[in-house]
Amino acid sequence: MVAAIPEQILKMKVVVKLFGGIKSEKDFPRNEEKDLIVETEKPLTIYELIDFLSLNKKPFIVVLNGVILTNLSIQIKDGDEISLFPPIAGG
What residues line the site for other proteins (CB under 8 A)? 17, 19-21, 33, 60-61, 63, 66-68, 70, 83, 85-91
Residue with Cβ nearer other proteins (19 or 28): 19
Residue with Cβ nearer other proteins (19 or 47): 19
Residue 68 CB-density burial (10 A; 0-12 exposed, 13-18 middle, 19+ buried):
exposed
Rounded Cα gap, residues 84 and 57, in angstroms: 10
CB 49 to other proteins: min, Å: 16
CB 41 to other proteins: min, Å: 27
Contacts of 24 by beta carbon, 8 Å cutoff, 6+ apart: 16, 18, 36, 53, 54, 55, 56
CB 44 to other proteins: min, Å: 20
